[in-house]
Amino acid sequence: MTVLKKIDSTTWQHRERISVPILIKLYKTAWLMSALLLVGSALSVFWLANMPLALGLAGSGICMSIVAATQQAMAAVRTRSSIALTGMQHNPLPFLALDRTGAIIQLNEAAAEALGYERHSHALVGELLERYVDSGDLALLEANRRNAYEGKIEQATIGVRSLTGMSMSWDVLFAPVGIQSGTSGCVLIAQDMSERKRHDERVKHMAFYDDMTGLPNRRLFVERLGEMLAEVREPDSMLAVCCLDIDHFKLINASYGHDYGDMLLLQMADRLLRGCTDVDFVCRMDGDKFGVILAAKNSEGQIEAAVQSLLSALEEPFELQGIPIQLTASAGWSSSAQEPLYPDKLLRNANLALIKAKENGRNECLIYREEWDEASLERLRLQHDLRRAVANREFVLLYQPQYDMNTGDIVGVEALLRWHHPLRGLVQPSKFIPLAEESGVIVQIGQWVLEEACRQNKSWQDAGLAPIPVSVNLSMRQFWQPNFTASVEAVLTKVGLEPRYLELEITESMTMDPDKLTQSLNELTALGISISIDDFGTGYSSFHYLKHFPVDRLKIDRSFVSDIEQDPGDAEIVAAIIAMAHNLNMQVIAEGVETAQQVQFLKMHLCDEMQGYYGSPPVTSERIAEMLVA
């Protein structure tokens, strides 16, 4: 509540000391009116009639209008006359004069229009203002009106509803008017704050809700989690925090565009909401990561069942503009039974479990385990070291020979990346490749691998060795880089290697967008480069799509080859892949071959080539040179 005192005679005598900039600043605030309506009697208008001279063009008209209108309103209250408030009639702010009963005596055009009447209507005169005030604000209106009758100046925000039902939020100044013997009524001048209120509500909504999905954001999630944790009282009652995201979501954006990615996120949000109970809470953390608070659970088994149910709902095909998309999701969760009831800690643990689920191959649900804390710190240290490894020349390439199944001759090599850390020693690819992909440094590493493998192959040829192709694995991020084909061509030109001696290996996950993939592969094969699909049988592709791709050969994943002696199912899969690939005029190479029995099986089913420890482990470039001479 704002109470403004009258200006005494001393202030009046020194009015010239009030600078023009200060007056202009006052005028430009929303409530200059509160500085102008210092009224209580005719003398209470004070020196404001002279203020326009100080303000100049900054608002002289409105100042004079308010002064004149206030004086006329006072006269109207004294005489209950219908003297027009000529000074305020065209002012954009609603202006009303009330008698002591709360009835409207005078109002300007803005007030009439705001309350749903014609601008020049007098229908409101004599009506009680409370008829147009929200019921919840009637007591506030009455209190401020009575204070004005007692000679005070008040300010309040009240809800107003027009004759047509439109809701408004008025910021109202209440000022007394009367004669020296007492106050006869009050004047109200209002500013419609509805738009500002709506703006404030929008700003508040943006602070706590995701703009695209409409779900709560991480900030509100943590706040709500704290409230829900405070309500966990019973020892057999618990809640859990679950973090989940779509596996290979970046591929959707890369293949179809961000509009399709957004459509997928909207559908994902809808499925999560439908899969949760009324007491659960769903939010979008960032990107394709969502958070769920699973409340009112009695056991960790019940929590895990709820998480699995959510993942199952996400496995149903999504349809994006008529295109069916089959995806999987990963999830990590932690429960209030594991940790003290701290929101940030629970969320951190759930996120760590999600990271572990993705490291384990995705499409998995894991509960947080305490020993992962140290592993998480180790992961951060490794990621930090990884960024410097390229510049410090810590990476090396080994080469694993590929053999013709019939002749036993080396017909190619695959370049395999290794990291010699200065302190940790040899770091396995399974440890650092996922980190490189996550951080994006895989693009820089991949470019180095491509150039180094091509350079080494040209070096063998320059040494007079039999020319063979070198296979280079491509990461998804590297492959979908703009102008990737041009960058490959530039490398070949730089090192002087003929394109036919380079084979690029793509993964099945890259085949999800057949049209875009076909275009990119056609550009590469037009240069004379060979294409193979690595780890075939473990991902998304099918022979239906493969027949449209310019692929030269398939690499059967080692997980199938390793069990062909014991698992009839895997043996049938391998035999089927070989037969169908040959029908599509593709060659087949089996990875991970380690035993003579596996070799015999592959020969029997006419597999073209093999790669694995049965022939040779990955070796240095010098050893490859020796093997080619032999």
For 579-627, the pLDDT digits (tens) are 999 999 999 999 999 999 999 999 999 999 999 999 999 999 999 999 9
End-of-domain residue from the set 169, 198, 227: 198
pTM recorded for the entire structure:
0.52
Q: How confident is the model at residue 456, as a pLDDT?
A: 98
Judge if 384 and 354 occupy the same domain.
Answer: no
Q: Which two tokens stand for residue 170?
A: 């008025």
Rounded CA-CA distance 408/596 in Å is 13
CA distances from 205 to 208, 215, 266, 439 (A): 5, 10, 18, 31
CATH number at residue 355: 3.30.70.270
- Tell whether 160 is covered by a domain: yes
Judge if 536 and 510 occupy the same domain.
Answer: yes
Rounded CA-CA distance 495/477 in Å is 24
Judge if 221 and 359 occupy the same domain.
Answer: yes
Which residue range(s) make up the domain with 350? 209-370
Rounded CA-CA distance 362/507 in Å is 15
Rounded CA-CA distance 601/614 in Å is 14
Under the phi-then-psi rule, with left for phi > 0, alpha for psi from -120 to 50, and beta for the rest, what region is 333?
beta
Judge if 254 and 355 occupy the same domain.
Answer: yes
- Tell whether 521 is covered by a domain: yes
Work out the percent of the chain whose per-residue pLDDT is above 70: 82
Q: In this model, does residue 51 exceed pLDDT 60?
A: no
pLDDT band at 253 (very low <50, low <70, confident <90, very high): confident
CATH number at residue 563: 3.20.20.450
Q: Is the dihedral of CA 33, 38, 40, 44 positive or negative?
A: negative
- Tell whether 1 is covered by a domain: no
Residues in the chain: 630
- Tell whether 86 is covered by a domain: yes
For residues 198-223, give the mean pLDDT: 87
Judge if 421 and 366 occupy the same domain.
Answer: no
pLDDT band at 538 (very low <50, low <70, confident <90, very high): low
Q: How confident is the model at residue 365, as a pLDDT?
A: 87
Q: How confident is the model at residue 513, as a pLDDT?
A: 67
End-of-domain residue from the set 178, 198, 218: 198
Judge if 365 and 389 occupy the same domain.
Answer: no
**Angle value at C-alpha 213, between 207 and 215, nearest 5 degrees:** 55
More confident residue, 446 or 90: 446
pLDDT band at 15 (very low <50, low <70, confident <90, very high): very low
Rounded CA-CA distance 181/48 in Å is 23
pLDDT band at 339 (very low <50, low <70, confident <90, very high): low
Q: Which two tokens stand for residue 465?
A: 């060795």
Mapping DSSP to helix (H, G, I), strand (E, B) and coil, where does residue 292 land? Answer: strand
Mean pLDDT score of the chain: 81
Q: CB under 8 Å to 99, separation ≥6 — which residues?
A: 77, 80, 105, 184, 185
Is residue 390 a contact partner of residue 444, using CB atoms and an 8 Å limit?
yes
Judge if 213 and 178 occupy the same domain.
Answer: no
More confident residue, 352 or 462: 462
- Tell whether 23 is covered by a domain: yes
Q: In this model, does residue 356 exceed pLDDT 90?
A: no
Q: How many domains does the chain have?
A: 3
Q: Find, among 336, 378, 333, 328, the residue nearest to 352 by Cα.
A: 333
Judge if 326 and 182 occupy the same domain.
Answer: no
Judge if 24 and 161 occupy the same domain.
Answer: yes
- Tell whether 516 is covered by a domain: yes
- Tell whether 112 is covered by a domain: yes
For 475-524, the pLDDT digits (tens) are 888 888 888 999 999 999 999 999 999 999 998 777 666 777 888 899 99
Q: How confident is the model at residue 516, as a pLDDT?
A: 76
Rounded CA-CA distance 400/453 in Å is 12
CA 40 to chain centre: 56
Rounded CA-CA distance 254/361 in Å is 21
pLDDT band at 118 (very low <50, low <70, confident <90, very high): confident
Q: In this model, does residue 46 exceed pLDDT 80?
A: no
Q: Which of 198-212, 381-395, 411-425, 530-544 has the lowest mean pLDDT?
A: 530-544
Rounded CA-CA distance 413/473 in Å is 12
Going along 278-409, which residue ranges are E strands?
281-286, 289-297, 318-320, 323-325, 329-335, 365-367, 395-404
Q: Is the dihedral of CA 492, 498, 501, 504 positive or negative?
A: positive
CA distances from 551 to 254, 359, 529, 577 (A): 21, 29, 10, 14
- Tell whether 243 is covered by a domain: yes
Strands 470-473 and 425-427: unpaired
CATH number at residue 35: 3.30.450.20
Q: In this model, does residue 25 exceed pLDDT 50?
A: no
For residues 47-54, give the mean pLDDT: 31
CA 223 to chain centre: 18
Strands 553-556 and 329-335: unpaired
More confident residue, 369 or 272: 272
Q: How confident is the model at residue 48, as a pLDDT?
A: 33
End-of-domain residue from the set 152, 175, 198: 198
Judge if 507 and 473 occupy the same domain.
Answer: yes
Q: How confident is the model at residue 412, as a pLDDT?
A: 97
Q: Which of 35-39, 98-102, 261-265 has the lowest mean pLDDT?
A: 35-39
Judge if 172 and 316 occupy the same domain.
Answer: no
Judge if 384 and 456 occupy the same domain.
Answer: yes
Is residue 615 a contact partner of residue 583, using CB atoms and an 8 Å limit?
no
Is residue 74 a contact partner of residue 128, using CB atoms and an 8 Å limit?
no
For 125-178, the pLDDT digits (tens) are 999 999 999 999 999 999 999 999 888 889 999 999 999 889 899 999 999 876
